Amino acid sequence: MPTKTVVVGSAVGLHARPAGIISEAALDLDSEVLIGVPGDEPVDASSALLIMTLGAANGDTVEVSGEVAADVEVIAALVAQDLDAED
């Protein structure tokens, strides 16, 4: 299973807005992608609520995994961005 380790880029961590953006992107993918804190059970990236339960803060390391490497890359790239920054 393709896995990528990434540092959370959002200033607020994986909280409401970043989790929502990530989950919407994951829903658009053709495969399931999981996000997890190393050592803990990963959660479905298509659920903003489950992403928020990880408690991942800015600078924390998370693992993104799934069956399709390209889908893992899409979600990992979002996790690394500051999704709470003003446009």
**Does pLDDT of 84 surpass 90?**
no
* Tokens matching residue 33: 């992608």
Q: Is the CB of residue 1 less than 8 Å from the CB of residue 65?
A: yes
Q: Are strands 3-7 and 33-36 parallel, antiparallel or unpaired?
A: unpaired
Name the strand (E) or helix (H) holding 77.
helix 69-80
* Tokens matching residue 1: 């299973």
Q: Is the CB of residue 73 less than 8 Å from the CB of residue 4?
A: yes
- Determine how many CB atoms are found less than 10 A away from the CB of residue 12: 15
Domain boundaries, given as residue ranges, for the chain: 3-80
What's the CATH class of domain 3-80? alpha beta
The tens digit of pLDDT for each residue in 29-80 reads 999 999 999 999 999 999 999 999 999 999 999 999 999 999 999 999 999 9
pLDDT of residue 85: 72
